[in-house]
Amino acid sequence: MKFLKFLLVGVVFGIILVKSEAVSWYRIYEMFRFESFHMYGIIGTAIATGVILLLITKKFKFKNIEGGLMSVPDKEKGFTRYILGGTLFGLGWALSGACPGPMYILVGTGVFTMLIVILAAILGTYVYGVLKDKLPH
Amino acid sequence: MEYILQPWPWYVSGPLLAMIMFTLIYFGKTFGMSSNLRTFCAIAGAGRKTAFFDFDWKSQKWNLVVVLGAVIGGFIAHFLLSNPVDIDLNPVTVESLSQLGFENAGKSLLPAELFSWDAAFSLKGLSTLIIGGFLVGFGTRYAGGCTSGHAITGLSNLQLPSLIAVVGFFLGGLIMIHLLFPLIFG
């Protein structure tokens, strides 16, 4: 039962990303060519709403379901890993048209070749884990 | 109901995505989809040889359940909650795709030229899917997050590292579409 709420969050997440067309390879291509406002509108309003929600959360010290303060862990400081890792991800995102949420959602829409992308992504994560200590961070 | 069956506008979808992030934080978790790739490595036993995967993956089960839900959500949205309509792409985008050999742009969610089984069984098609996926998996873990963890959660929390990562996302995307696509598909 305790997992049911997470299942529901996932279902709603999947529905939003399909209905918004954010899972579409074409929308990602269009975004990187600056030929539509659509994706910028989605990401922009998501961040704007998120900023307001988190500011209110901190100001009024909202509690989470476990009784602790609702909070988002800070990201470690740094530059190299974020710009290099981000760029590598961006290359893959534009090529495959899918980031790590949509790749699962698209399997649900019946695109089973996406399983190849998912397996390759798991392999990519594995290779990162193996090389981690040799990479600049 | 008609409004639900049509594609949802950005000003509805964006705030709803923020609610997904907020709900997960309310549940004492965070919004981060790429972490699941690391969990899959741990489940497969990668932790025996590599310290990065040596963690208690059972603590991440909740996120795998989110993934399962996302697959179900994709099914529901696509097969039960959608009237078949074309994606309303910019005609300039459609024309540029046609020059790269992509026909029927916007008639489905993804181009058959990349995601049909015929394409996936060609050397070029298979390499495209594998290289694309590999870069997503490697890059997100290197950067410590993807669109959900950095772009939505991190920027909402005004984190500088997330801003740097998102600049990287766009740098990579722009290089791929503007410099590499003409070489790969031209």
| Distance between CA atoms of residues A109 and A121, nearest Å | 19
- Nearest residue in B to A62, CA atom: B26
Domain that holds residue B180: 116-186
- Do B78 and B127 lie in one domain? The reply is no
Same domain, B66 and B121: no
Chain B residue whose CA is closest to A24 = B109
* Nearby residues of A79 by Cβ (< 8 Å), 6 or more positions away: B164
Q: Is the ipTM of this structure higher than 0.95?
A: yes
Q: Is residue B104 a part of any domain in this protein? A: no
> Per residue in A100-127, pLDDT tens?
999 999 999 999 999 999 999 999 999 9
**B133 and B64 share one domain:** no
Question: Do residues B77 and B3 both lie within one domain?
Answer: yes
Q: Does B75 lie in the same domain as B6?
A: yes
How many domains does chain B contain in total? 2
Q: Is residue B102 part of a domain?
A: no
Q: State whether B78 and B120 are in the same domain.
A: no
Does B84 have pLDDT greater than 90?
no
Interface of B with A in 92-131 (CB under 8 A): 92-93, 96-97, 105-106, 109-111, 114-117, 119-120, 126, 128-131
Phi, psi of A63 (to 5 degrees): -95, 150
Residues of chain B in contact with residue A104, where contact means CB-CB under 8 angstroms, are: 33, 67, 70-71, 74
Q: Is B82 on the interface with A (CB under 8 A)?
A: yes
Residue B107 covered by a domain: no
Residues on chain A touching B20 (C-beta within 8 angstroms): 9, 12-13, 16
- Rounded to whole angstroms, the Cα distance separating A79 from A77 reads 7
Residues B10 and B67 in one domain: yes
pLDDT of residue B49: 95
Amino acid at A87: T
Position B110 in a domain: no
Distance CA B134, CA B147 (A): 16
In a domain, B92, yes or no: no
Burial of B50 (0-12, 13-18, 19+ CB in 10 A): middle
Structure confidence by residue, pLDDT tens digits, B43-83: 999 999 999 999 999 999 999 999 999 999 999 999 999 99
Please tell me whether residues B51 and B123 are part of one structural domain.
no
Asked if B59 and B15 sit in the same domain, the reply is yes
| B75: in domain | yes
Q: What does the alpha-carbon distance between residue B118 and residue A42 come to, in Å, rounded to a whole number?
A: 33
Q: How confident is the model at residue A94 (pLDDT cuts 50, 70, 90)?
A: very high
DSSP, collapsed to helix, strand or coil, labels residue B161 as helix
CA distance A96 to A69: 38
Q: Average pLDDT of B88-97?
A: 97
Q: What is the pTM for the complete model shown?
A: 0.97
Cα of B29 to nearest chain A Cα, Å: 8
Q: Which residue in this structure is represented by tokens 């994709």?
A: B74
* Residues 22 through 51 of chain A touching chain B, CB cutoff 8 Å: 22-33, 35-51
Q: Are residues B22 and B76 in the same domain?
A: yes
Q: Each residue of A11-61: pLDDT tens digit?
A: 999 999 999 999 999 999 999 999 999 999 999 999 999 999 999 999 999
- Domain C-terminal end among B39, B56, B82: B82
Q: pLDDT, tens digit, for every residue of A68-90? A: 999 999 999 999 999 999 999 99
Mean pLDDT of chain B: 97
Does any domain span residue B69?
yes
Whether residue B42 lies within 8 A of chain A, CB to CB, comes out as no
- pLDDT (tens digit, 9 = 90+) per residue, B3-28? 899 999 999 999 999 999 999 999 99
Residue A62 binned pLDDT confidence (cut-offs 50, 70, 90): very high
**A56 reaches B (C-beta below 8 A):** no
B87 within some domain: no
